Amino acid sequence: MSTPSRLALYLNLVRWDRPAGSYLLLWPTLSALWLARGGFPGWHLIAVFTLGTFLMRSAGCAVNDVADRDFDKHVKRTAQRPVTSGAVSSKEALLLGAALALVAFALVLTTNAATIAWSFAALAVSIFYPFTKRFFSMPQAVLGVAFSFGIPMAFAAVQGRVPALAWWLLLGNLFWVLAYDTEYAMVDRDDDLLIGIKTSAITLGRFDVAGVMAFYGLFIAVWAVIGLHLNLAWPFHAGLGVSAAIAGWHYTLIRDRSREGCFRAFRLNHWVGFAAFVGTVLSLALG
């Protein structure tokens, strides 16, 4: 078997072949852009936030793998990751992550002062998250904040400020992150119990499936109330209805707690966000 090239290892490190994780960040961020503008936000901001999302998710993967390298070697699914296996050094991974973050920051510099300021808070939360697995019983909540920070940044880029609406959207989105990342944590629960890290799947115990469905419900409910408050047209609520239907299907995948079912539910979760995004766009197009 041939040895992978450095480029192949770096692409593997940043999960370039698995973009589903980037979509999980992208759809709520784009929804926030449309809501902040009240319609099409312009190609410049779409490009900045789309490229920035992919770059920062990639940078986050590199940092996360360095932080978790001693844990990942004991987990079936992650034992062969480049940093964990020793194919890529921690220094290389951190340098790659920093380079990607700098490119993303260069994109942010084309927006405004408010967005630039909020980008530092987003970066801080992203760096802090991997270490919360050591002491916080629900680290997925911290991930929820990190994965939702595109929302206030989108409002800052459009309006130069972050209104209450952005924080309500972030709260709703945080519940969605709790839902899908608990599914993700259910995949590795047996390994995580052995190595002693903390996850929402372990904390919820036998109520994990119920917790996931409750988180989905809270996400849908918060965003639905926002839609009613903003008098958004029917496609917004139809989109959330599709999101709810997908969440219901995910129940059938996770109810027996199989690794395969839980991982499939996680991998396909971006469709929940995509349905909400399409509903948002169509609703604002109708006025």
90-128: pLDDT as tens digits: 888 889 889 999 999 999 999 999 999 999 999 898 888
CA dist 88 → 44, 55, 77, 99 (Å): 35, 19, 18, 16
Indicate the pLDDT class of residue 136, thresholds 50, 70 and 90.
confident
Query: Whole-angstrom Cα distance, residue 249 to residue 67?
Result: 34
pLDDT tens per residue across span 2-60 = 567 888 888 888 888 888 889 999 999 999 999 999 999 999 999 999 999 999 999 88
CATH code that applies to domain 6-286: 1.10.357.140
Contact between 104 and 60 under an 8 Å Cβ cutoff? The reply is no
Whether 1 has a pLDDT exceeding 50, the answer reads no
Q: Is 166 within 8 Å of 136 (Cβ atoms)?
A: no
| pLDDT, mean over the chain | 91
pLDDT confidence bin for 72, thresholds 50/70/90: low
Q: Which residue has the higher pLDDT, 17 or 231?
A: 231
Residue 228 pLDDT level (bands cut at 50, 70, 90):
very high
Question: Is the model's pLDDT at 255 over the cut of 50?
Answer: yes
Q: What percent of the chain has pLDDT over 90?
A: 67
Q: Residues of the chain with pLDDT > 70: what percent? A: 96
Q: What's the whole-number mean pLDDT along residues 56-70?
A: 84
3-state secondary structure of 285: helix
Going from N- to C-terminal start, the domains of the chain cover 6-286
Structure confidence at residue 62 (pLDDT)? 86
DSSP string, 99-116: HHHHHHHHHHTTS-HHHH
Check pLDDT > 70 for residue 254.
yes
Q: What is the pLDDT of residue 3?
A: 63
The model carries a pTM of 0.92
